[in-house]
Amino acid sequence: MDGAMHHCLFDTDLGPCGAAWSERGLARFQLPEADRRATERRLKLRAPVSSAAAPPRGIAAVITDVQRYMAGERIDFSAVALDLAGVAPFYAEIYDAARRVGWGETATYGELARRVGAPGAARAVGQAMARNPVAVIIPCHRILASGNKVGGFSAFGGAFSKQKLLGLEGVRIGARKETGQLSLSERW
C-alpha cells in the first residue's frame, strides 16, 4: 500500500458500517447511521482524505469479524492493528485500557481513569470515548457512567445504540423506558 488512507462500506445485521484504513491498520470505523448514504457521509467526514477501495486481506478479516459480531457472535478485537496517528498520548493510553475490557464485561469511566493512573479523570475518559475513531474495535460501548448507568454514546441512536451493542454481548443495563422515540430496530 502507498501510505494513503482508503475506505469502504459494508453491510451488517445492524445496518451499513464503514471502515477506513492505512498501511498501519484500521484508522476509522463508522457505526450505522440512518441509512447507507448517511453512513458514508459520516465516514467521509471522519476520514476526509481517504479514497474508496476494496479492503486488503487484514481489513477484510476485520470487516468479517465486525459482521459476525453484529450478528451476535463473540468476537475479540483486541489484536486488530490500528492506525491511531494524531491521537493524544493520554487518549491512546485510555484506548489501550478500554481494549482490555473484554466481551460481555463493562467498566466505568472512573475505573478506566484509575487503570491508567489518573484517578479523578473520569470526564477525560468520557471525552476520549466520545472521540474514539474506531468504536466497537476500541469498545467504548463497554464503558459506563458511574453507578453502572449507560452514560452517553456519540453514535447514531445515542444511548439506545450503546445498549444494543451491549445487548449483543448479553449485557443488560436497566429497563428501557417508553419515550415515544424510535426503537433500536427502527433506528438500525
Give CA–CA dist 64/47, Å, rounded: 21
Quick check: 27 and 133 in contact, CB under 8 A? yes
Alpha helix segments (H runs only) across the chain = 36-46, 57-70, 89-99, 109-115, 122-130, 158-168, 184-187
Q: How far is C-alpha 55 from the chain's CA centre?
A: 19
- Which active-site residues does the annotation give? 140
> Long-range pairs for 132-136 at CB < 8 Å and ≥24 separation?
132/95, 132/98, 133/27, 133/28, 133/29, 133/46, 133/84, 133/87, 134/26, 134/27, 134/28, 134/29, 134/82, 135/29, 135/31, 136/29, 136/31, 136/66, 136/69, 136/77, 136/165
Q: Name the 3-class secondary structure at 80.
A: coil
In angstroms, the CA 177 to CA 138 distance is: 28
